[in-house]
Amino acid sequence: MKILVTGGAGFIGGYLVDFFLNKHKVIIYDNLSTSSQSVVDALIKKGALFIKGDILDQDTLSKSSEGFDVMIHLAAKSDVTESVSHPRIVKNINVNGTINVLNSCIKNKIKKIVFASSAAVYGDSSTAVTEKSETKPLSPYGTSKMLAENKIREMSKNNFDYTILRIFNVYGKRQNKQYAGVISNFIENISKNIPLLIYGDGSQTRDFVSINDVVNAFDAAVKTNSSGTYNIASGKSISVKELAEIFRHTSAGKIQMTYKPAKKQDIQYSIADISLAQKELKFNPKVNLKEGLSDLVSVSN
């Protein structure tokens, strides 16, 4: 198959391109706004093709995707804080950029799109969210993902199949420091021997999923030829304070914790019900959080 990956030079994209290269022809379409040429160079060496382009540039995007079978759409502004300070820019890229991707699919008769949506579409929920749970995003980022999803469903009719993956908190090596979540920040602080920064009292929970499990979800998504929306997570949650304690153990209890007021747009509780993805995509997360973290910490030290 020929697969085009928008945002293929980013954190998740780099892993996906590397994975799909073994079986398919893969093109990265990325403007490198939050990623680097060195990641692309390494993937080119392994056989990937690269087009430096913006998803807001409809002409280049449509020309670049001629003759493709699958579009994996990752390119986005995914920094929640930036979405609060620059909501229009984020909405433009995440929603209008997605519409351009969909127009390119229709123009080029691309029959399948896989979209990286986010747990942020749900907002807060004290119980595990299913795909049927109400979407109540707390940030412009979450709203932009929700609007992009709606466009995909609307424009898919008689045109293409879609798989929307509502991805929860991903962790793995090479995560973009600027946009990364709490795990990358903790690892960085440990490497610099400075206290772990916790927003609020640390009781907020997250459902962390390993990048290796996320790659398997995309693989399954590319293979299905029906449409659907799925939670991609571990199905288990942990509080930020508990997470900090795990890191504290790895540093033999030497590292301290420091606190700042909670950010308004931060979700308090996040945990996914993944039974639909388990049933329909045969998605079965395999990486246990403690094992995944010890792998990361040993690498970063």
15 among known catalytic residues: no
The reply on whether position 137 binds ligand NAD by CB under 6 A is: no
Binding region for ligand NAD (CB under 6 A) out of 81-89, 105-113, 173-181, 220-228: 173-181
Report the relative pairing of strands 112-118 and 208-210 from DSSP bridges.
unpaired
3-state secondary structure at position 10: coil
- Which CB sits closer to ligand NAD, 144 or 255? 144
Minimum distance of ligand NAD from residue 209's CB (angstroms): 8
Residue of 138, 122, 114 lying closest to 20 (CA atoms): 114
Q: Among all residues, whose Cβ is closest to ligand NAD?
A: 10
Q: Is the dihedral of CA 223, 229, 235, 240 positive or negative?
A: positive
- Select the residue interacting with ligand NAD from 35, 163, 210, 270 (CB under 6 A): 35
Q: How far apart are CA 218 and CA 14, in angstroms?
A: 13
In this structure, the number of other CB atoms found within 10 A of the CB of residue 159 comes to 14
Minimum distance of ligand NAD from residue 81's CB (angstroms): 13
Q: How many helices (H) and strands (E) does the chain have?
A: 12, 13
Binding region for ligand NAD (CB under 6 A) out of 105-113, 175-183, 192-200, 216-224: 175-183
CA atoms within 13 A on the CB side of 208: 22
Minimum distance of ligand NAD from residue 103's CB (angstroms): 15
- Select the residue interacting with ligand NAD from 4, 17, 27, 31 (CB under 6 A): 31
Burial of 70 per CB tally in 10 Å (0-12, 13-18, 19+): buried
The reply on whether position 229 binds ligand NAD by CB under 6 A is: no
The reply on whether position 297 binds ligand NAD by CB under 6 A is: no
The reply on whether position 97 binds ligand NAD by CB under 6 A is: yes
Residue of 52, 54, 22, 55 lying closest to 37 (CA atoms): 52
> Of these residues, 141, 162, 230, 269, which one is catalytic?
141
Catalytically active residues are: 141
Q: Which residues bind ligand NAD (CB under 6 A)?
A: 6-7, 9-13, 30-35, 54-56, 74-78, 93, 97, 116, 118, 167, 169-170, 176, 179, 181
